[in-house]
């Protein structure tokens, strides 16, 4: 299975610029026969705190229509980030489209970053599951990476987990460490795609990565606006879990009991 990492500097609240870059990357990934391309959080706007301006209704979204057209044109599945507005409630989401542009997963970021995001956005409350070419996948967004519990739950079904992000350079070591941790503890592929460039006072350096179920770094992208293709073998997930069945030793009922006692 070929995964394309669409690491880019989308600017900040510059949708036309971002669309042009994404279109070029999607076309290149399609030419290289990638099965899925993954873009950073809030792909076309950057980490905007103006959801009332940049939020879109999912049924009439120009941004979703753009990615649907690109998916179908280039015969490739796409994972991207977007702000969705529903009845003046704004959510930071990761959508997954199949190669025909059909929405397979619509995930609302569970954990909002303390500060402005918590004041302007509402958190999601459910996990999402879909399949790309028969391989089960779950999407997450940025700050979710710091909270292992939902990953443990999602990985019971999914063999690939995507994490799209606008993760600043100041905490890049956390980003890289947590991506590996989530892969090792869940024995699944972790695909983390981060942005580059400068937005406001924050600097972003990418560090998009693909981590194997055994914690091996299969790709680490440091360049700006870089499309990287990674071949993964999804069957490695089943093989590792059979060889080293740590997930079967989890005691979720006990964890619930301990949490309630605390």
Sign of CA dihedral 145, 41, 89, 69: negative
Whole-number Å distance between alpha carbons of 217 and 222? 13
CATH topology for 2-261 is Nitrilase/N-carbamoyl-D-aminoacid amidohydrolase (3.60.110)
How many other CB atoms are there within 10 angstroms of residue 116's CB atom? Answer: 11
Residue 23 has which token pair? 């279109």
Q: Is 69 a catalytic residue?
A: no
Write b or e for each residue in 158-178: b if 16 or more Cβ atoms lie within 10 A of its Cβ, otherwise e.
Answer: bbbbbbbbbbbbeebeebbeb
pLDDT 10s digits, 77-123: 999 999 999 999 999 999 999 999 999 999 999 999 999 999 999 99
Q: What pLDDT, on a 0 to 100 scale, did the predictor assign at position 160?
A: 99
**What is the DSSP pairing of strand 103-108 with strand 89-97?**
antiparallel
Backbone angles phi, psi at 260, to 5 degrees: -70, -35
Report the DSSP beta bridge partners of residue 225. Answer: none
Residues of the chain scoring pLDDT < 70: 262
Whole-number Å distance between alpha carbons of 260 and 52? 39
The one catalytic residue in 109, 117, 166, 188 is 109
Q: What pLDDT, on a 0 to 100 scale, did the predictor assign at position 262?
A: 64
pTM, two decimal places: 0.97
The one catalytic residue in 13, 41, 70, 117 is 41
CB 191 within 8 A of CB 156: no
Q: Is 73 a catalytic residue?
A: no
Q: Is 41 a catalytic residue?
A: yes
The one catalytic residue in 79, 130, 142, 188 is 142
Q: What pLDDT, on a 0 to 100 scale, did the predictor assign at position 74?
A: 98
How many other CB atoms are there within 10 angstroms of residue 183's CB atom? Answer: 27
């Amino acid at each position: 299975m070929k995964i394309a990492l669409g690491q880019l500097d989308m600017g900040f609240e510059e949708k036309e610029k971002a669309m042009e870059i994404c279109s070029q990357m999607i076309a290149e990934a399609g030419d290289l026969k990638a099965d899925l391309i993954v873009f950073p959080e809030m792909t076309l706007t950057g980490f905007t705190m103006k959801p009332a301006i940049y939020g879109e209704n999912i049924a009439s979204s120009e941004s979703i229509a753009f990615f649907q057209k690109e998916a179908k044109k280039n015969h490739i599945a796409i994972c991207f980030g977007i702000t969705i507005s529903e009845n003046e409630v704004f959510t930071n989401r990761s959508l997954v489209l199949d190669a025909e542009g059909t929405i397979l997963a619509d995930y609302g970021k569970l954990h909002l970053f303390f500060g402005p995001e918590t004041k302007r956005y509402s958190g999601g409350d459910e996990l999402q599951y879909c399949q790309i070419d028969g391989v089960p996948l779950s999407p997450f967004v940025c700050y979710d990476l710091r909270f292992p519990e939902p990953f443990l739950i999602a990985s019971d079904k999914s063999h690939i987990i995507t994490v799209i992000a606008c993760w600043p350079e100041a905490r890049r070591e956390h980003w890289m460490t947590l991506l590996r941790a989530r892969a090792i503890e869940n024995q699944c592929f972790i695909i983390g795609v981060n942005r580059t460039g400068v937005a406001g006072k924050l600097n972003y350096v990418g560090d998009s990565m693909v981590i194997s179920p055994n914690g091996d770094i299969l790709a680490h992208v440091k360049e700006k606006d870089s499309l990287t293709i990674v071949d993964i073998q999804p069957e490695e997930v089943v093989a590792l879990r059979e060889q080293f069945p740590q997930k079967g030793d989890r005691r979720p009922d006990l964890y619930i009991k301990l949490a309630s006692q605390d």
